[in-house]
Amino acid sequence: MNDHGMNNIENHYSDGYMEPEEEWEREGLLDPAWEKQQKKTFTAWCNSHLRKAGTAIENIEEDFRNGLKLMLLLEVISGETLPKPDRGKMRFHKIANVNKALDFIASKGVKLVSIGAEEIVDGNLKMTLGMIWTIILRFAIQDISVEEMTAKEGLLLWCQRKTAPYRNVNVQNFHLSFKDGLAFCALIHRHRPDLIDYSKLSKDNPLENLNTAFDVAEKYLDIPRMLDPEDMTHTAMPDERAIMTYVSSYYHCFSGAQKAETAANRICKVLKVNQENERLMEEYERLASDLLEWIRRTMPWLQSRQSDNSLAGVQRKLEEYRTYRRKHKPPRVEQKAKLETNFNTLQTKLRLSNRPAYMPTEGKMVSDIANAWKGLETSEKAFEEWLLSEMMRLERLEHLAQKFKHKADIHEEWTRGKEEMLQSQDFRQCKLNELKALKKKHEAFESDLAAHQDRVEQIAAIAQELNTLEYHDSVSVNTRCQRICDQWDRLGGLTQRRRQALDEAERILEKIDILHLEFAKRAAPFNNWLDGTREDLVDMFIVHTMEEIQGLLDAHSQFKATLGEADKEYNSIVNLVREVEQTVQKYQVPGGLENPYTTLTAHDLTKKWSEVRQLVPQRDATLQAELRKQQNNEMLRRQFAEKANQVGPWIERQMDAVTAIGMGMQGSLEDQLHRLKEYEQGVYAYKPHIEELEKIHQAVQEGMIFENRYTAYTMETLRVGWEQLLTSINRNINEVENQILTRDSKGITQEQLTEFRSSFNHFDKNRTGRLAPDEFKSCLVSLGYSIGKDRQGEIDFQRILAIVDPNNTGYTHFDAFLDFMTRESTDTDTAEQVIDSFRILAGDKPYILPDELRRELPPDQAEYCIQRMPPFKGPNAVPGALDYMSFSTALYGESDL
């Protein structure tokens, strides 16, 4: 048979991969050194199996010529029985036996191209080596597969992974990479470190390394020497087939260790999931406890309505509240958002790892936190409203207290000396006309006293209002009011008694000075008018709107219009005095200049009239100043309204846009996540507008402005809207990230995800992000999920509801819906798989020992298992035995956290 026939064999059995050896054989240039290596290796490999049948071969091209040992080799390595061989020694007997062997090989799915029994019987070495290589490929290498690669690639990847940690080893092929012997030593040390001290090996001693590996493998691993160290070192490129054959023996020898490693990897993966989930649960509990404790500490302060009943004290409380809203609450808003994000991420990870849903400690559910937060916001609103109402009340109290003091001062000034005057007995020494004058004077006083009755009642009314409004210094107000009222009662009694005394003496008093009497009659009411006018002109006032100050300005204008008539009355009264002076001067009346009927003089009236004329422009200035203040307040209202009318709609538009993205129909999940993060950046970039509005709002409050007709927005509604927008963005980002996590871990496509989202949105008519049971059932039917209308169909549907709504809220959210649609068709770890992995590590025992866990698992995960596994209580238990079955089941059961 020529070399080109051999090429067909080589091409077929190289599994589509062509190394330099195949290229050389194609040209008929097979290196004699390679042929020698193959012959030795294939002979040793065949003998490693034939010895199980108590025989061996010495010359590979001679000992297989009659087909008997060839058939025996195939029976040993396959475990099957071939047809009975022909025992004759004729050529056709040998050809028949070799054909039986070749037919058996062909029955295993191997196509034998250009290999004929005649070449084997004739002792053709190349053809015989090609046939043995075919057998090695089929029975020793073909079943080797790592990560779905071909046999050769899988075996190479296995070597690379096992030798990766070792210095001076870099396995890239099956010829040069093994030439210095370190790769063989590394494979042995990786699985049996007790057999070789790798640290003492050197790359400069290839012959020593090869002999060490081959000797140890033969003596301790029952792997015969299939390669010659001298051939390996003296050949420029050792034969690939020979090395692959020898390395495959290592693979099969260590396959048991491979199973243990695979089992350990699976257990590590499951334990890491549990450890991460427990960490997230502990983080949630910590954050929830901290947030709830902060709310608990904050609520009594917000619910307190205690103050020192002073305007300054309430203003301090309002500043404390502003500091709380600016500095203390924003970090807690972020903490609440992080808490919800962590909770949703944890639940998603639990679903993806086939774990039960996480139930927080009683009182720390997301709903509990939401209720506590809602209570906090309600208390905030009520607290701020109370502070503002207190400011209005206390401002009015301060105004009333000043008004009380002002009127009391005037009244007490007027009553000074009145009791002594009423108790005087001066009338007993008077002449008749003096007595009559005293009587008229007393009548004038009575008139004046009656005129002051309104002032006393006003004082008492103001004191009563201060008591009703709980003025902080009500005691001193009541004391002074009582003193004024008691004095007023005494004045009334004294006046009555003096009048009775004068009436008793009236029989001897006849003459009345008409001119003095006229002055007294007209001067007294004019004097009272002057006193009242002076009070009105210095009267304090409080206004909050332009309309109120305009009303005061209009009233002041009307008053000024009456000054002309008052001036005429003043001149008329003063002329009476001038007439008295002229009369006294003309007739020289002794004591005639003294007016017996009044203490008022023209000088008194002139002085008060002059004061009134000076107070009028001062009142003008006071009212104009208040007008400017109210104009400034109006400007603040417009500034706040202009900014609020921009910020409010902006927040509403952002909220609508985020909600639209949250419906999940705008591009891929990555697109949605990108857009949401852009909105998040945009919202934070917009924050200066909120801060600017807060500054205007502070100026509004400091200006005691309590309403604004130019906008429907208040600072409170904008704050809540801002916080809700941030919360909505964070919640949607978290939901999209969890959907990406679900999609990638479950292996669903974007098209499937879009179909699920489209169906969900179709039945989510109100855009609430959740479906009622009837809507959920319709959604399942629209996706081709069969739910019968009979009793069994209802049972099936209730089972599904228990999965998607484990807390029985009455609604199905999209995350739960997506998880249900993908989980049943996805390969996930199960308790049974973990049990099988532990059984491998335990060597098929129903229990496992701590030393076995520490040997097979990383230290932290080994200790994790040892601390949590219960003792094994079955038969034949040894001290320290652990129950890995109940532990594995608990991993997928209820969490103790």
Amino acid found at 223: I
- Same domain assignment for residues 72 and 119: yes
Both 638 and 768 in one domain: the answer is no
Residue 686 three-state SS: coil
The C-alpha atoms of residue 239 and residue 221 are separated, in whole angstroms, by: 23
Residue 610 in any domain: the answer is no
Q: Cβ of 98: how many Cβ atoms within 10 Å?
A: 26
| Burial zone of 427 (CB within 10 Å; 0-12 exposed, 13-18 middle, 19+ buried) | buried
Q: Are 834 and 865 in contact (CB under 8 A)?
A: no
Find which of 141-145, 318-322, 349-353 is predicted with most confidence, using mean pLDDT: 318-322
The predicted pLDDT at position 19 comes to 40
Instruction: State the SS3 of 433-475.
Output: HHHHHHHHHHHHHHHHHHHHHHHHHHHHHHHHHHHHCCCCCHH
Three-state DSSP at 142 gives coil
**Position 825, amino acid:** S
Looking at 405, 429, 444, the residue that finishes a domain is 405
Does one domain contain both 396 and 431?
A: no
Cβ contact 5:24 at 8 Å: no
CA distance 219 to 97: 35
Q: Domain containing 812 — which CATH number?
A: 1.10.238.10
Percent of the chain with pLDDT over 90: 27
Task: Examine the domain organization and report whether 760 and 715 are in the same domain.
Answer: no
Please check whether residue 636 is in contact with residue 562, taking contact to mean a CB–CB distance below 8 angstroms: no
Task: Domain count for the chain, please give it.
Answer: 6
Higher pLDDT, 145 or 602: 602
Q: What is the pLDDT of residues 574-631, one digit of tens each?
A: 888 888 777 767 756 556 677 878 888 888 889 989 989 888 898 888 888 888 888 8
Asked whether residue 282 falls in the same domain as residue 331, the answer is: yes
User: Does the residue 3 lie in any domain?
Assistant: no
E strands, 668-795, are: 770-771
Q: What residues have CB less than 8 Å from 657, skipping those under 6 apart?
A: 679
Examine residue 719 and state whether it is found in any structural domain, yes or no.
yes
Give the residue carrying structure tokens 């400017």: 628
pTM: 0.52
Q: What percent of the chain stands above pLDDT 70?
A: 91
* Residue-range definition of the domain harbouring residue 368: 270-405
CA quadruple 19, 22, 24, 29: dihedral sign: positive
Q: Are residues 425 and 442 in the same domain?
A: yes
What is the rounded average pLDDT of the residues 417-434? 77
And the tokens for 760? 């969900």
Q: Three-class SS of residue 306?
A: coil
* Cβ(56)–Cβ(50) below 8 Å: yes
Average confidence score pLDDT of the chain: 84
Asked if residues 295 and 376 have their Cβ atoms less than 8 Å apart, the reply is yes
Weakest mean pLDDT among 6-10, 124-128, 392-396, 804-808: 6-10
Same domain, 449 and 562: yes
Query: In terms of domains, do 595 and 516 share one?
Result: yes
Biggest CA-to-CA distance, the chain: 191
pLDDT value for 145: 62
Give residue-wise pLDDT tens across range 38-95: 989 999 999 989 998 899 999 998 999 999 999 999 999 888 999 999 888 898 989 9
DSSP bridge partners of 848 = 882
pLDDT interval class at 749 (50, 70, 90): confident
Tell me if 173 sits within 8 A of 240, measured CB to CB: yes
Q: Which two tokens stand for residue 767?
A: 């855009």
Query: pLDDT of 307-336, one tens digit each?
Result: 887 778 888 888 998 999 899 999 999 999
Task: Please say which residue of 738, 758, 781 terminates a domain.
Answer: 738
Please report whether residue 651 resides in a domain: yes
Q: Which amino acid is at 689?
A: H
Residues 299 and 62: their CA atoms lie apart, in Å, by: 98
Give the phi and the psi of residue 353 in degrees, each rounded to 5: -100, 15
Tens of pLDDT, residue by residue over 830-869, are 788 888 889 888 888 899 999 889 888 888 888 999 999 9
Q: Which residues contact 754 (CB under 8 A, 6 or more apart)?
A: 665
Q: Which phi-psi region, left, alpha or beta, contains residue 238 (left: φ > 0; alpha: ψ -120 to 50)? A: beta
CB 103 within 8 A of CB 82: no
SS3 of 318-354: the string is HHHHHHHHHHHHHHHHHHHHHHHHHHHHHHHHHHHCC
- 87 and 213 assigned to the same domain: yes
Averaged pLDDT, 511-516: 62
> How confident is the model at residue 146, as a pLDDT?
62
Averaged pLDDT for residues 123-129: 89
Residue 535 lies in a domain: yes
Rounded to an integer, what distance in angstroms lies between the CA atom of residue 478 and that of residue 562? 37
890 exposure class (CB count in 10 Å sphere: 0-12, 13-18, 19+) = middle
C-alpha to C-alpha distance for 483 and 497, rounded to whole angstroms: 21
My answer on whether 549 and 425 are in the same domain is: yes
- The answer as to whether 342 is a domain residue is yes
Q: Give the DSSP letter of residue 427.
A: G
Residue in the structure block whose two tokens are 């001897």: 508
Contacts of 885 (CB under 8 A, 6+ apart): 835, 838, 846
Comparing 420-434, 563-577, 615-629, the range with the smallest average pLDDT is: 420-434
Here the CATH number for the domain that contains residue 323 is 1.20.58.60
User: What does the H/E/C string look like for 264-277?
Assistant: HHHHHHHHHHHHHH
Other CB atoms within 10 Å distance of the CB of residue 11:
15
Say yes or no: 811 and 849 in one domain. Answer: no
Query: In b/e form, how buried is each residue of 620-650, taking b as 16+ CB within 10 angstroms?
Result: eebbeebbeebeebeebbebbbebbeebbeb
- At 275 the pLDDT is 87
Mean pLDDT throughout 327-354? 89
Phi, psi of 529 (to 5 degrees): -60, -40
Does some domain include residue 415? no
pLDDT range class, residue 829, cuts 50, 70, 90:
low
Last residue of a domain, one of 689, 716, 738: 738
Confirm whether 24 is domain-assigned. Answer: no
In this structure, the answer to whether residues 279 and 314 fall within a common structural domain is: yes
Q: Report d(CA 315, CA 393) in Å as an integer.
A: 12
Confidence of residue 824 (pLDDT cuts 50, 70, 90): low
Is the pLDDT reported for residue 260 higher than 80?
Answer: no
